[in-house]
Amino acid sequence: MPERLEIESLVVLAGELHFGRTAERLHVARARVSQTIQGLERRVGAPLFERTSRSVRLTPLGRRLHAEVEPGHRRVRAALERARAEARGVEGDLAVGYLGTAAGEFVMDVVRALAGRHSGIEVRIHET
C-alpha cells in the first residue's frame, strides 16, 4: 500500500510538473519529493515521469495511474475537511423569524440556550 506522501507527491507533481513547486506545496524538501517519486516508481516497476534538466512529463503509465488515484485522493481530502468542520462544532449564521410577541419570547430563550452551547454561531432574529 502506498504511503500518503507517495500519493500526494504523485497527484501534486502530475499537476505542477515541477519538483520545486511540488515540494513547496507539500512543505517538504525538493529532494524528498524526488526520493518519494523514485520509491513509488520502484514499487510500480516502471517510470511514472520523464525527467530532463528542463522538463517533467508524465509517462503514459503515470497518466493512467494519476487518473485512477486522483479522484480517490480528492474524496479523502474532502472527507477529512468535512470531519474537521464537524469536529469544530456548529458555526455560522442562523436567521430566525418569528410572528407575534409570545413567539418572540420563546425564540429569545432558544437563542440564549443555543449561544451558550455554540459560541461560533451568530443568530439574527427578525419579526416576520
Query: Count of alpha carbons within 13 Å of 90, Cβ hemisphere only?
Result: 11
Instruction: State the maximum Cα–Cα separation within the chain, in Å, rounded to a whole number.
Output: 75
pLDDT in tens, 71-102: 999 999 888 877 876 777 766 777 878 777 77
Which fold would CATH assign to domain 4-87? Arc Repressor Mutant, subunit A (1.10.10)
Nearest to 2 by CA among 101, 112, 91, 76: 76
Give the DSSP letter string of 42-98. Answer: HHHTS-SEEE-SS-EEE-HHHHHHHHHHHHHHHHHHHHHHHHHHHHH-S-EEEEEEE
pLDDT at 90: 65
> For the chain, what are the domain ranges?
4-87, 89-127
Q: How confident is the model at residue 119 (pLDDT cuts 50, 70, 90)?
A: low
What's the predicted TM-score (pTM) here?
0.66
What are the tens digits of pLDDT across the range 10-61?
Answer: 999 999 999 999 999 999 999 999 999 999 999 999 999 999 989 999 999 9
User: Residue 76: what residue type?
Assistant: V
